[in-house]
Amino acid sequence: MAGWSCLVTGAGGFLGQRIIRLLMEEKDLQEVRALDKFFRPELKEEFSKLQGKPKLTVLEGDILDVQFLRKACQGMSAVIHSASVIDFLGTIQRELIMNVNLKGTQLLLEACVQASVPIFLYTSSVEVAGPNSYKEIVENGCEEENLENTWSASYPYSKKLAEKAVLAANGEILKNGGTLYTCALRPMYIYGDGSPILFGIMNKALKNNRVLSHDGKFSIANPVYVGNVAWAHILALRTLRDPKKATSIQGQFYYISDDTPHQSYDNLNYTLSKEWGFRLDSRLKLPLSLQYWIAFLLEIVSFLLSPIYKYHPPTSCHLLTLSNSVFTFSYKKAQRDLGYEPLFSWEEAKQKTMAWIGSLVDQHKETVKTKTQ
């Protein structure tokens, strides 16, 4: 297995960048191909500085371009597929989400078969499992429970079907007569320095006198630090490449969490930002059941208006459920089969994320200062 190579899709994203950085430290790795539709100039520059023993090739192209995918896969030993359109608010066109998340995954699987790439590791999501109701309680759930999301919302639905396609492809015969081995990782809600979701939350709060919205008060989640999710991908890849260990994880999925304390999303946001003067909104909110029915009515209005006007409600039943459920999972199976232990402690993850939020505060001050001059 010496002299191997790996393609990473979504390499310009929040998680993909971390996977690339860790991959570049792997033994006997000859080449890493970083694929995304677009790379920011500063990230291209950062990647150019990573050039070392493994060759790092940046590929810009569309996940729906069959010829591009086949060329990208040619000569690769493994693929990590982390590219995805993420949509919690229901504001992104359903067709785009289904095309990228499902069709793109199917096309990439076919490209691997045609290019005889034997290993396919998929970045799935905890949303494949749910939650289906804010009244449902799942604490320290495990893979054996076989929970399944029943929402028709584009993001969880597309990820569920894509994961099914990946796991069903395990054992397919490659063009060169070899066999395709697949595996999927289901991370919890991913936080950390550089998180686009956290960036949006903090940016909104900075414009609102550092008051954080109080939308996830009733949730109990186990968020996972981005560096630990990237590390889990490296360990899963190592296991898939080891003939003695690979058979135990082929066609399997794994929940990926870490030792971040189980807490509400509101509490996580406050914990990570309170040092910079952020505070939770103290105003009373409507009971969750009433919020849910209002969201339901707004979704009906949106549907009725859709032929003549695109109305996006400020929230949805799915988002309210996602933000206010007791829904946590154990990483014991990943620990057992992948040898997974978090690379970063909660304290390290917290400090790194807090420092990044501090930099956002400084940037905001500079912007305000510039505008007032």
Q: In sequence order, what are the beta bridge partners of 263?
A: 221
Structure tokens given for 34: 């970083």
Q: What is the dihedral of CA 283, 262, 289, 291, to 10 degrees?
A: 50
Number of alpha helices (DSSP H) and beta strands (DSSP E) in the chain = 14, 14
Which residue type, as a one-letter code, is found at position 73?
A: C
Q: Is 155 an active-site residue?
A: yes
Structure tokens given for 64: 């729906």
Structure tokens given for 162: 């894509």
Q: Which of 122, 155, 189, 255 is catalytic?
A: 155
How would DSSP label each residue in 32-101? EEEEES---HHHHHHHHHT-SSSEEEEEE--TT-HHHHHHHHTT-SEEEE------SSS-S-HHHHHIII
CA distances from 66 to 75, 104, 121, 332 (A): 16, 9, 19, 38
Annotated catalytic sites, by residue? 155
